[in-house]
Amino acid sequence: MAIPILLDDFDHRLLALLQDDAARTLTALGEAVGLSPSAVQRRITRYRKHGLLQQVAVLDSTAFPAVVLAAVWVTMERESVRTLNAFYARMRAAPEVQQCYQLAGDWDYLVIMATTSVGAYREAAERLFKVDGNIKRYETRLVFDTVKRGLRLPTQAPSARSRRRG
């Protein structure tokens, strides 16, 4: 889907910085990687045009004591293209669904949910995971504590990073 984009060392370092803090100025980014602000800007524009990067605000979940997080494992009864597409559409459309991954193994999907109460979670789960011809079984595990939360991706192997440093 996305057009392949070739990344050099500057790109990898910029993407790492931006994943930590996207509010930095082009000047600060340029100083960090050894590039002029204009060069940094051109690169970031390129990332955006390729749909590689989007800037979002991440809220501190502990600041919202009412928020209920839950992990749900799901297995499908039989995966016809039609029912699967419907499931995907439901996951993407539902504001309660934060993340949804297809897994290898006995469980087909992992879904991370976020709601404002256990009641709201129950409602959403019954609506989204109703056991019918599509979904065979699902299990809910409420989140007691958030140890770490982020979406950071490594864009190059750790060995390449340390090799370059050493």
Q: Binding to a second copy (CB under 8 A): which residues in 140-159?
A: 141-158
- CB-nearer residue toward a second copy: 109 or 129: 109
Q: Give the nearer residue to DNA in terms of CB position, either 44 or 114.
A: 44
- Select the residue interacting with a second copy from 6, 8, 23, 165 (CB under 8 A): 23
Supply φ then ψ for residue 68, to 5 degrees: -110, 120
Contact 18, 53 (CB under 8 A): yes
Q: Encoding tokens for residue 139? A: 């299990």
Cα–Cα distance for residue pair 33/55, rounded to 1 Å? 20
Residue 15 interaction partner, one of DNA, a second copy, none, beta carbon < 5-8 Å per kind: a second copy
Place of tokens 């976020």: 114
18 binds DNA (CB under 7 A): no
Q: Which of 7, 12, 18, 37 binds DNA (CB under 7 A)?
A: 37
Site for a second copy in 62-101 (CB under 8 A): 62-64, 67, 69, 71, 88, 91-92, 95-101
Q: Which of 81, 78, 77, 58 lies closest to 148, judged by CA?
A: 58
Closest to 140 (Cα-Cα) out of 120, 122, 115: 122
> What x-and-dash track marks residues 38-67 binding DNA by CB under 7 A?
xx-xxxxx----------------------
Residue type, 5: I
Stretch that binds a second copy, among 25-33, 34-42, 109-117, 130-138 (CB under 8 A): 109-117
